[in-house]
Structure 1
Amino acid sequence: MTGELRVDPIACRAHGMCAELLPEMIELDEWGYPIIAPGPVTSRLRADAAVAVAACPTLALRLRR
């Protein structure tokens, strides 16, 4: 099963934890806001993506199935 990462740009406050926890799919722009790689989250990265979602201090990161 795959999923897709989404970020709520209104809720995000550019803490950058998501990029530290999931660098394979998330990089930060020049202001520290996440840029999510297009495409599904592979089964290999699913657990790491779930950790990144849970660690977001503003609950801006979501993993949709």
Structure 2
Amino acid sequence: MSARPDAASPAASLHVDWTACDGRGLCAELLPEVLAADPWGYPVAAGPHPESGGEPGVGGAPGVGPAPWPRREGVAVPAAALPDARRAVRMCPRLALRLEGAGGDRRA
């Protein structure tokens, strides 16, 4: 018997094409449960940074601000956030977002 996926378990992975992203911050506005914007508008994973001791978006030193997105493999998107993630991918003005694992790799 398989376990039922809950709304918080990762259903997909969101990736940023850093050569295309110009830090407009729209993705963070559309997907606040998954992304936050750094001081320049570039996306960072929302929630505690793995090396911050639990501080949201902070990469080590207090007061420095959000750390750059450290993961090349993308950020986990829970099932409940998939509609918003798909919308963020579709609406990205630079087409810099890609969603993987939600029924196939897609830009929309």
Calculate the TM-score normalised by the size of structure 1.
0.88
Q: Is the 8 A contact 1:3 1:42 kept in 2?
A: yes
* Counterpart secondary structure, 1:44: helix
Q: Is the 8 A contact 1:19 1:34 kept in 2?
A: yes
Please name the residue that 2:82 is paired with.
46
Residue 40 of structure 1 deviates from its aligned partner by 2.3
Q: How does 1:1-65 map to 2 (within 5 A)?
A: 2-37=11-46, 39-65=75-101
What do the CA deviations read for 1:4-36 (whole angstroms, capped 9, x no partner)? Answer: 001011100111110110011111112111113
RMSD of the TM alignment (CA)? 1.7
Q: Is the 8 A contact 1:26 1:35 kept in 2?
A: yes
Runs of 5+ unmatched residues, structure 2: 1-9, 47-73, 102-108
State how far apart, in whole Å, the 1-side matches of 2:35 and 2:19 are.
Answer: 17
Alignment coverage as a number of residue pairs: 65
Runs of 4+ in 1 over 2 A off after TM superposition: 36-40
Worse overlay, 46-55 or 29-38: 29-38
* Counterpart secondary structure, 2:78: coil
Higher share of residues assigned helix:
1
Of the two, which has the highest radius of gyration? 2
Pick 1 or 2: higher relative contact order, CA cutoff 8 A, min separation 6: 1
Q: Is the 8 A contact 1:53 1:61 kept in 2?
A: yes
Runs of 5+ unmatched residues, structure 1: none
